[in-house]
Amino acid sequence: MKNPVLKDYPHILLGADYNPEQWLHMPEVLEKDIQFWQEANMNSFSVGIFSWSVIEPEEGVYNFSHLDDVMDRAAEAGGKIVLATPSGARPHWLAQKYPEVLRVNERREKLLFGERHNHCFTSPVYREKVQNINRRLAERYKDHPALGIWHISNEYNGNCHCPLCQAAFREWLKKKYHNNLDELNRAWWSTFWSHTITDWEQIESPSSLGEYRVHGLNLDWMRFVSDQTIDFLKSELVPIREVTPDVPVTTNFTGFNHDINYWRAKEVLDVTSWDNYPSWHNDEEPACYVAAKTAMVHDMYRCFKNKPFFMMESTPSCVNWKPVNKLMRPGMNTLQAFQAISHGADGVMYFQFRKSRGGMEKFHGAVIDHVGHQDTRVYREVQSLGARLKGLDELVGVGTKSEVALVFDWENIWLFDDIAGYHNKERKYIPTCEKHYYPFWKNGISVDVLDMDGDFAPYKLVVMPMAYMLRPGVEEKIEAYVRGGGTIVFTYISGIVDENDLCYLGGWPGGRLKEVFGIWAEETDTLYPSDRNHVEVDGKIYTAVDYCDLIHLRGAKALGAYQEDFYAGRPALTVNGYGAGRAYYIAFRDTGDFLVDFYEKLMTELALVRNLQGELPENVTAQRRGDFIFLENFGENETVVPLHRTYKNYETNKVYPYECVLAPREVKILVEI
């Protein structure tokens, strides 16, 4: 059952990005950092991320002394290093000597040296230089006791439209369409506007200067960019796997990055990790909602490989790149860390250990601030978190069991970003998935997050909001799942197109899903932001906003009806018994209340297991890993949590027979006794 990330290091990692290369001219600073780090109860540093210009100051000239130093000191202290390959930012000399490594944007403008992540993933020169420096790092540190895990590059993202990438895109298309332009033309529906392609060389990546309305092309381009980035990652790994075959590999992802389909990247990695920067305490959303959104991403990272992941970056106090960079309130840093752990993280890391003195991130939160000593609010909170984590070795590698799967698909993100129709500014695909996740978080029910290729069989309930595009095989999988006794929830705008964005003919949702759901959708009404309809379900009136599907029953039972407009009286919520299972269709978008009531009823009907028996107070959730139950209070008030059995506080051994009290932003770890 236990599946630890670092086989020989059974501790939760508490670490931070650390950039000693910025301080080499001040050795006294580096001296103190190691002491501060140890006294903060930290056990890890992520190093080397942006070190390339220091470790290879000129082509073929290497200097690893600062990395040697931090690796040796970490080893002496019994810690582990997360060692990065430096490809996230290249040195000046490399771009100067080999301009092909720089990107070309969609307007076909060659970019200058600057920023980071500005490199072509196709460039053979860039790939070769990266492999070279990676090999040197691997050879140097392969037997170093501090080497814990590889951190490949940094937050891969973006795309490049240079001639090398255009050629690679055409090759990718030739492979996909079996070297057959007719096949490609049909998939892209290119007779529309007379865009038939008669020569592969006519194909260009989408550009605002030319072709950008062929959705099949756009979708294939997104797939290509994602595949090409993953291919670059694979090429980075060649020397790493060769020289250090036993050292696990990760790369830091960024939530729902639009450039890479992480479901396809996960295969290449041993561990997934992500950089988590929620807007805690913002003035637009309630705290419980920010918490649930973040929880959903953690769940997805756990599910990528169905094992513990790392929160590779987070801030201990504030960021510097949001419109408003508010400080995290006392306790929030600890709660943020435990939230990640409770959803399956075995590592909690910060950006950054020591705050830069200059440059763009000099006002970004850090464990050690410019003041240069430990006597700060932020340092003390990190230190007490570290002390708590030291007592949690038993948790390392423990998994989570979920009866509910939420299906969230990357290719649907791309399509909802791109298609023309419905509401053209914001279709709210991700926020809709979050709204469907929230009722489970609120009730302390664990959820797995899958993409549509995932295995539905182990779940009692599959929730699949706005499943606009269905890839081949998904229709059949849904049918078999429901026939076999599963319960599925679909919403408006689902089953509309196939994997090439070609509409299903014969009514929505596509193919046999009309039988599974027992309905067909004829039209979708897109509402203006101030428009409202209403839906009555079980005698209660809910507000419908944004989208109302106009559906016909084909065997399903209507559970709710529209109240207004020309479709008043038509079904807005249906259920269909199919085989041994049930298929629900929610035809309208609501403001949130409906989803909570709807899912709470389903939770009872399906007898879904709650992580803590009974109802949870507002802003409090209960998450579970094995025997460990995490009670988390995201609210600003002290809150009493009623208990229906006796629990013990795992950390203090205190016994709670009837209730326990959570301070604002407090987390308690309970175990049953």
Distance CA 579, CA 327 (A): 53
Q: Is 109 a residue of the active site? A: no
- C-beta of 277: minimal distance to ligand GLA in Å? 6
Q: Which one of ligand GLA, Zn ion, none interacts with residue 125, CB within 5 to 8 A by kind?
A: none
Map 362-403 to HEC letters.
CCCCCCECCCCCCCCHHHHHHHHHHHHHHCCHHHCCCCCCCC
56 binds ligand GLA per the rule CB under 6 A: no
- Please tell me the distance from the alpha carbon of residue 564 to that of residue 544, in angstroms, as a whole number: 10
Per-residue binder mask for ligand GLA (CB under 6 A), 305-344, x = binder: --------x-----x-------------------------
The nearest distance, CB 391 to ligand GLA, in angstroms, is: 29
Write phi, then psi, for 363 (nearest 5 degrees): -110, 15
| Residues sharing a CB contact under 8 Å with residue 82, sequence separation 6 or more, in sequence order | 13, 15, 44, 45, 46, 47, 148, 149, 150, 151, 312, 349
Among 47, 67, 165, 413, binds Zn ion (CB under 5 A): 165
Question: Among ligand GLA, Zn ion, none, what binds residue 160 when CB lies within 5 to 8 Å by partner kind?
Answer: Zn ion
Residue 491 contact among Zn ion, ligand GLA, none, beta carbon within 5 to 8 Å by kind: none
3-state secondary structure of 413: helix
69 binds, among ligand GLA, Zn ion, none (CB under 5 to 8 A by kind): none
Q: Select the residue interacting with ligand GLA from 150, 310, 351, 379 (CB under 6 A).
A: 351
Tokens 């027979």 sit at which residue? 657
Rounded CA-CA distance 440/50 in Å is 40
Which of Zn ion, ligand GLA, none sits in contact with 275, Cβ below 5 to 8 A by type?
ligand GLA
Identify the active-site residue in 21, 155, 411, 475: 155
The answer to whether the CB of 510 falls within 8 A of the CB of 501 is: no
168 binds Zn ion (CB under 5 A): no
Binding flag, residue 273, ligand GLA (CB under 6 A): no
CA 316 to chain centre: 20
- Residue among 120 and 497 whose Cβ is closer to Zn ion: 120
Alpha carbon distance, N-terminus to C-terminus of the chain: 21
Question: Is there binding between residue 101 and Zn ion (CB under 5 A)?
Answer: no
Residue sitting closest to ligand GLA (CB)? 275
The count of other CB atoms within 10 Å of the CB of residue 95 is 19
* Residue 313: CB minimum distance to ligand GLA, A: 5
Contacting residues for 93 by C-beta, under 8 A, at least 6 apart: 58, 59
Q: Considering CB distances under 5 to 8 angstroms, the limit depending on partner class, which of ligand GLA, Zn ion, none binds residue 122?
A: Zn ion
Looking at the Cβ atoms of 320 and 646, the one nearer to ligand GLA is: 320
Nearest to 74 by CA among 12, 121, 18: 18
d(CA 4, CA 270) in angstroms, rounded, equals 11
Peptide bond into 352 cis (omega under 30): yes
- Comparing CB distances to Zn ion, the nearer of 111 and 288 is 111
Which of 101, 120, 497, 559 binds Zn ion (CB under 5 A)? It is 120
- E-strand ranges in 579-657 read 581-586, 588-590, 620-625, 628-633, 639-642, 647-649, 655-656
Write the DSSP string, 262-298: HHHHGGG-SS-EEE----TT-SSS-HHHHHHHHHHHH
Q: 315 or 621: whose CB is closer to ligand GLA?
A: 315
- Is 44 a binding residue for ligand GLA by CB under 6 A? The answer is no
Q: Is residue 66 at the binding interface for ligand GLA, with CB under 6 A as the rule?
A: no
User: Total number of residues binding ligand GLA (CB under 6 A)?
Assistant: 9
102 belongs to the binding site for Zn ion (CB under 5 A): no
- Choose between 277 and 504: whose C-beta lies nearer to ligand GLA: 277
Strand arrangement, sheet containing 44-47: 249-250, 147-151, 80-84, 44-47, 13-17, 345-350, 309-313, 273-275, 252-253
Among candidate residues 21, 211, 313, 403, the one labeled active-site is 313
* 355 part of the interface to ligand GLA, by CB under 6 A: no
Q: How far is the CB of 352 from ligand GLA (least distance, A)?
A: 7
Q: What's the CA gap between 658 and 145, in Å, rounded? A: 48
Binding mask 151-180 for ligand GLA (x = CB under 6 A): ---xx-------------------------
Rounded to the nearest whole angstrom, what is the least distance from the CB of residue 175 to Zn ion in the complex?
A: 18
Residue with tokens 């993933």: 121
Q: Which amino acid is at 21?
A: E
Residue 337 binding target from Zn ion, ligand GLA, none, CB below 5 to 8 Å by type: none
User: Would you call 155 a catalytic residue per the annotation?
Assistant: yes
- Residue pair 490/509 in contact (Cβ under 8 Å)? The answer is yes
> Which one of ligand GLA, Zn ion, none is in contact with 351 (Cβ closer than 5 to 8 A by kind)?
ligand GLA
Binding flag, residue 437, ligand GLA (CB under 6 A): no
Q: Which is nearer to ligand GLA, 313 or 475 (CB)?
A: 313
Residues that bind ligand GLA (CB under 6 A): 154-155, 275, 277, 313, 319, 351, 361, 364
List residues with catalytic annotation.
Answer: 155, 313
Residues that bind Zn ion (CB under 5 A): 120, 122, 160, 162, 164-165
